[in-house]
Amino acid sequence: MSRVNRTLTISTDQALQDALSRRAQVERKSMSDVAREILESVLGDRPLTASFGKVRSDILFGASADAWQRAIRKRNWRP
């Protein structure tokens, strides 16, 4: 991934900020570097099917609509 310097501002609770700070200290990196690595590991250049492999196989091989919807909700990162 190319490094373009753009700023992303997010809101977190204090516990998450403290955890990020501790991890950055342990890894001797900036908080931005650690947050960027975490985001890249989750959102990197993976095709969508890689993220939803189990759900995709359920769709292809005939899981019920209810099971499919539960699986999507379980894997959904949004609140």
Higher pLDDT, 40 or 49: 40
Read off the pLDDT band of 73 (50, 70, 90).
confident
Query: In 3D, which of 42, 47, 33 has the Cα closest to residue 3?
Result: 33
The rounded distance, in Å, linking the Cα atoms of 36 and 23 is: 13
pTM (2 decimals)? 0.52
40 lies in the same domain as 53: no
Two tokens at 34? 């650690």
20 lies in the same domain as 33: yes
Looking at residues 51-79, what average pLDDT do you find?
62
User: pLDDT, tens digit, for every residue of 3-34?
Assistant: 667 888 999 999 999 999 999 999 999 999 99
Per the structure, the complete domain to which residue 58 belongs is given by 47-79
Residue 4 covered by a domain: no
User: Which residue matches tokens 């939803």?
Assistant: 52
Q: How many domains does the chain have?
A: 2
Two tokens at 19? 């955890």
